[in-house]
Every structure is written in C-alpha cells, then in structure tokens.
Amino acid sequence: MTTYSLSKGSPTKIKTDVLVVGVVRTDKGLSAAPGGEDVASAYGRKFAPLLSTIGFTGKPGEVATLPTSGVVTSPLLILVGLGDRAAMTTETVRRAAGAAARSVSNASTVALALPAVDADHVRAVADGYLLGSYSFTRFKSSETPDTANEVVILSEVARNKEAIAALATAQVVARATCLARDWVNTPAGNLTPEIFADAVTDTGRHNKAAKVSIKVTDETKLEADGYGGIIGVGRASANPPRLVELRYKPRGAKAHLALVGKGITFDSGGLSLKPGAAMTTMKLDMSGAAAVIAATFAIAELGIPVQVSTFAPMAENMVSGNATRPGDVLTMYGGKTVEVLNTDAEGRLILADALVKAGEQKPDLIVDVATLTGACVIALGDRVAGLLGNDEETLATIKASGDRAGEAFWELPITEEMTEKVRTNSKVADLAQHNTERWGGTLYAAAFLQEFVGDNSWAHLDIAGPAFNEKDPHGYTPSGATGVGVSTLVQLAQHLSENGRKK
C-alpha cells in the first residue's frame, strides 16, 4: 500500500528513486513550473538546451524521463508538460500528475515537485497521481500493480492545515473512485446483481470509518412491493435483481441528499437485442450505481455533515421466455403504468422505481447518475456528461461541483415537447417508455424520469460518454472504467454542508 505525505524540502536534496518536475511554456521559452525551480537552478544554463535536445515541447501531458547524473539527489527525473504558464489551472496540474504517475515504473519512492502552491493545488497533485496510478489486474495471472511504496508531495504549504486536509480528502475520494472503477471493470459474469449487492455490503462492513447502514431487497420482496420496473427488466435473467439502499445520517446534517444510480450489471438489450459488438463493454452499464455507492462511502468517511439516502437498483437485462416484450405494460413503484416500446431502454425503468422511493424520503435534492443514452454520447462526445433537471439552482451547483472536481458536465434542456410525448405516445398506459422518433433521445429519457420525481428538486447526470474510456489513457484517466461522478458527488455534498439547501 502506497503512503502519501507532504514535505517542505527542496526537490534537489530529497532522496527518492524518482523526482517529478513540471515544465511550462512562457514568453521566454520553457521553464520549470512552480515547485521545480530549484531543479532548473541546479542545471543552470543547461536546463533549456537539455529540454530542446530531447525534443521536449512542454505541451500538456507530455512526459520525458532522463537520468540526473548527480545534478540532483534523485537518480531519475520525470518531466511533465503543463502547457502555457498563463493558462495553467488546477485541472492542468491534476492531469499532469496523472500522466507522470503512468510513467513511473520500478520505483519504491517518488517525489512530486509539481505546482502545489496552495491547498487546492495540493489536492490537484494528489488527485492526479492517485488516480493516474490506478490499474486493474484482478484477472491477470502474473501481472501485479507497479506502484511506489512512498509518494511525497513537495510544497511550501506542507505544514498548512488546509493542505494536510486536502491530501487526506484526496486519498479518500481517490479510493472511492478506484472502488467504482474496480466494480465497473469486473466482468458481468463475476458481478451479477446479487454479487454486486454482496460486494457493497462487504465494503460497508470493512470500512469502519464510514458509518453507513445498508439494506438489500431481493426479487421476492421487490415483486411483492410493486417495483414493476426493476422486476420487468430483471425477470428474464437467471441472476435475479436487487435494490441496494445506503443510509448515512450524521448529527447536525445541513441538508439531505438522495442519490440514485443505474445498476444494469449487463445489458444485452433484452428482446430488442443489441448487435454482438455493442455488447462487449456492457458490463459498464452499472457505472451509475457504482458512482453513487462509492460516493456515499466517501462522504461518510470524510464525515461531511449531509444526510445521504442512496438507492441502487440492480438488474441484468437478458433474453428468455420470461422477458418483457415490446408492447408490455409495467406498473411502476408508486402506481404509474408504463408501456415498454424498446427493451434496450431499460435503465430508465429501474431508475423510475428508485426515484419514487428516493422521493419518499423527502430529501432536499435528488441526483440520479446513469449511463443512460447513446444519444448523449453523440451530442457531447466521450469526455462530457449530460446534465438535465427541474431546478436551475441545482444544475448550476452540480456544474460548479464538477468543474471543481475536474469532471465536465453540459446542461441540456427538458423541453415541453418531450414532456408531452412521454405522456401521449402510449395509447394504453400512463407513459411511454421510449420515443417513437429517432431524435432527442437524451431529452426524452430525462423527461420520462422527471415523471417519477414529484415536486422534488432533481438533477439527472447522463454519464454514457465519460463512464468508460475505450481509448488510450489520458491524464489521470485510465483505459476502461473512469469512476466519473464520484468526485463531483462528494464535492456537491461538501457544497451542501457549507451552504445548506434552500427549501
């Protein structure tokens, strides 16, 4: 297990296997970023020519490794680009730290002389390195994670209590994010609804710092209590559905936050079967559940004074003689009826049940997180999540929380047209689950979910794009599961604890 610490020492004198220094572009050329000035001074006039010789340009995320030949105490120097000095932000620093982490190998100790000029930058350095170091090797027969035993963040504010707290927070949130990544990366055959629910229970049992109570409802009780959406989606599978509830109720809570996460552990599309190639990564369809559960544990472990009620409906969308058919009508939890027009739009059905349940708790705010629509990926790409809801104050707060956490969200509208279609597209039920037209799929899905939130303030995070990276790693984002949403939800809870919630 890697230990992380802060130190005020000079990067030229610290005894570690690897020293990481940032490089920025200025009007006068390349120079060491804040935190690495002593290293540049140690090289003197040779520093800039050295960078030129190795072809280093300082562009964000660029990495170069070279021996120090005794110029500084550490034998190996990793240079990481931060781009233009004037444009550098905490997110730039976070990404650079992640790129550096992925370049460290066979090192027992690492020192990070990156811009850590205040508590926010300390947090960014720690976030980036912790998340950039992630690897998933559970199913590798011989490979073991190549991580350092000790990582030291060098900073002039190392003894500042805010900086110390920032490092501690970064470690909790990064562990939670990596927990979510682990769950999402696990093959669907090894993470059925029952196994997933058991894993959540085990996590709560072993994490004594997080005082979270957990309740798991099985398929028999779900059917008896009228959870028509969860049962309707999960009934075709040999692995029956579950509803996992988590409760964190601290003394003096400043607000009550309800979280709902889509937990489709595998999505075949049901009778509206997906093409074979489209199923390959469908283990990712429980990313929303993983995010809200992991965030709940992190909020509790940090002791943030916000009550959290979390609901994670879990089901496997499969094909059998018992499968829900297009045209079937389901009676949802709470009594509304829904005509199913496309069984591959199953996520909104299980979320609908859970949203009604969340609303019964009378929270100040409901936030659901889901890999819900391919339309959102088409609209926003694979690095930006959609943000929709019924309360502009809530949407603005979540957008700001995401910006601070380094997670990008873009607001999309829920139009009157889509609300009307949800209510009129079915001739036999209260609501139509799927649009009869091709366009506006993300807006329609959100309009459908809105029918189940009552008069509660509510936001919907469609993370279909950024939840799973099918490309090469970048910054602190690995290939595979990203854990998107965890950090934003923790930051949202922190905001609510500091500002309360208007009724």
Active site residues: 274, 348
Return the number of other C-beta atoms located less than 10 Å from residue 419's C-beta.
Answer: 17
For the chain, the straight-line distance linking the first and the last C-alpha, in angstroms and rounded, comes to 44
3-state helix, strand, coil in the chain (%, to 5): 40, 20, 40
Please give the Cα distance from 447 to 352 (Å, whole number).
Answer: 11
Integer Cα distance of 331 and 238 in angstroms: 22
DSSP output for 115-150? ---SHHHHHHHHHHHHHHT----TT-SS------SE
Relative to beta strand 458-462, strand 109-113 is: unpaired
Place of tokens 């989606």: 233
How many Å apart are CA 388 and CA 426, to the nearest integer?
23
Asked if 467 and 92 count as a contact pair (C-beta separation under 8 A), the reply is no
Residue 439 is encoded by which pair of tokens?
């366009």
Strands 408-411 and 76-84, bridge-based pairing: unpaired
Residue 418 is encoded by which pair of tokens?
């889509």
